Chain A
Amino acid sequence: MRKKKRFSMPSKYLLLLLTLLCVGLMFVTFSASVSLSPVQTVSGYLIVPIQKGINEVGRWFSDRVDYRATIRELQEENQALTEQVNDLTIQNSQLVQDTYELSRLRSLYDLDVKYSEYHKVAARVIGKDPGNWFSTFLIDKGTDDGISVDCNVIADGGLVGIVTGVGKDWASVRSIIDDSSRVSSTVLSTSDGCFVNGDLQLMNEGEIRIVQLLDEDDKVAVGDEVVTSHISSKYLEGIPIGYIDSLSYDANNLTKSGTLIPIADFQHLHEVLVITDKKEMPSEVEGEE
């Protein structure tokens, strides 16, 4: 051992110092929205490239495995798909007609801001949170592509989550199945308001909890579509979330709660779309979590 007098702090004091630092940081990030973006940017440079690399390797392997799907399977699939194409062609021509009609009606009603016109950025999922308690993930696009905190994230045509942290070329997304997520939403058929809460207990079954549904006429049925509400402060209006799977009255006999099957497939989330347009709200309005 080199004999060299160096300044060294007893570990007890170091522990105390770091504890204070952590507690301080917690207070700072909880009370004031102090941005840690410099630290995040630096660590992003370090971590994100490695994660991207590992994901590339993983994708290569899974591609190899997919490649081995037998020809028979592919033939069957091809046949089924051909039939589907025929069906869809017919359906499509009908829909095109409907679209023309819709656009005419829309221009009539002057409803020009709609879901279809939002700016979207496609991103890849490059990492999931290390614990088993929450459900947040990292994507490989960040401020460079116009993503900022509170941007909505969709996949498979349904809501996935919301951006909670962002760096130069990465962003972390809290999914709606996360236990701390709460989305103000509406049942499409009856326009009744409700909340969609993530729940760890239901997460493993691939469902989300739906609460505080005020359904006075008792018209909401299993299978009804639930979309984000127009009164939500962070989520854009009318993004599909899922379909009602079960529903029952709460103890107060006024509101209902139940479960919802999300449209997005959270088990196999590879690519997502980030809507870079954000809902514009007066700054004093406090949003839901």
Chain B
Amino acid sequence: MKRVIAYFLMIILCFVLQNTIFQALALASISPNLLVILTASIGLMRGKKEGMLVGFLCGFMVDIFYGNLVGFYALVYMYLGYMNGFFNKIFYDDDVKLPMLLISASEFLYSLIIYVFLFLIRTRFDFGYYFIHIIIPELVYTVVATIFFYRLINGVNRRLEKRTKRRA
């Protein structure tokens, strides 16, 4: 139960932070994607099911407030969470390289999906421009943000795990 509340709080916090402070901190009008960091981290740390559910909720929030097509972002984030869940088996608590790699890959995949489904489909063919001006900066910025946020999420996860172990 504590875990569910913690997830809810983290999702709301990330969503709100990303909409307000991180849009104000945007460099060259590019801001990092905290929701991808959260979804990928939970998927990696806790497995497919929880990653999927957290991703679904993250995407659903985006859909409700900003999406034209409700369900699209929910679907994208959900699959990101699920895919990261596959790597749960090789997850070690103190390893930072794997999460960094996975979050970068998730972020890249996310951008690619957005491009294909929301831009390419409307005959915006200039992939080179979008790649250099949106995808790469967002990726770099997200990786930088990961350094801070991954530790936070991992810390919360560790606490929650300790609690359940003590109860056992």
Contact = CB atoms under 8 A, between A and B. Distances in A.
19 contacts: A11-B49, A22-B56, A24-B71, A26-B71, A29-B68, A43-B64, A47-B12, A47-B65, A51-B19, A51-B20, A130-B66, A132-B31, A133-B134, A134-B118, A164-B68, A179-B119, A180-B68, A204-B28, A204-B133
B164 A1 contact: yes
A36 B70 contact: yes
A133 B24 contact: no
A262 to B, nearest CB: 15
Interface string A86-117: 00000000000000000000000000000000
Given A201-B129, A204-B133, A133 B65 contact: no
Given A14-B53, A200-B124, 18 more contacts: A15-B82, A18-B56, A19-B78, A23-B71, A25-B70, A26-B69, A26-B75, A50-B16, A51-B19, A54-B20, A126-B20, A127-B16, A127-B20, A128-B23, A132-B138, A133-B118, A172-B66, A204-B28
Interface string B107-119: 0000000110011
Most A CB contacts (10 A, CB to CB) among B19, B33, B34 go to B19
B82 A11 contact: yes
B91 interface: no
A40 B65 CA distance: 8
B71 to A, nearest CB: 3
Interface in A7-47: 11, 14-15, 18-19, 21-26, 28-30, 36, 39-40, 43, 46-47
Interface of B: 12, 15-21, 23-24, 28-31, 33-35, 47-49, 52-53, 56, 61-62, 64-66, 68-72, 74-75, 78, 82, 85, 114-115, 118-119, 122, 124, 126, 129-130, 133-134, 137-138, 164, 167-168
A40 B54 CA distance: 19
A148 interface: no
A2 interface: yes
Interface of A: 1-2, 11, 14-15, 18-19, 21-26, 28-30, 36, 39-40, 43, 46-47, 50-51, 54-55, 58, 126-134, 136, 138, 164-165, 172, 179-180, 200-201, 203-204, 267
Nearest to A165: B65
A61 B130 CA distance: 34
A132 B66 contact: no
Contacts of A203: 29
Most A CB contacts (10 A, CB to CB) among B20, B31, B56 go to B20
B122 A180 contact: yes
B68 A58 contact: no
A138 B65 contact: yes
B19 A128 contact: yes
Main SS of chain A's interface residues?
helix
B18 A130 contact: yes
Given A47-B16, A127-B19, A133-B118, A11 B66 contact: no
B69 A29 contact: yes
B102 to A, nearest CB: 18
Minimum-distance CB pairs A-B, first 10: A25-B71, A127-B19, A22-B71, A22-B75, A128-B23, A11-B49, A26-B71, A129-B66, A11-B48, A29-B70
Nearest to B135: A132
Contacts of A39: 64
Contacts of A30: 69
A2 B75 contact: no
A18 B52 contact: yes
Contacts of A47: 12, 15-16, 61, 65
Contacts of B30: 132
A15 B124 contact: no
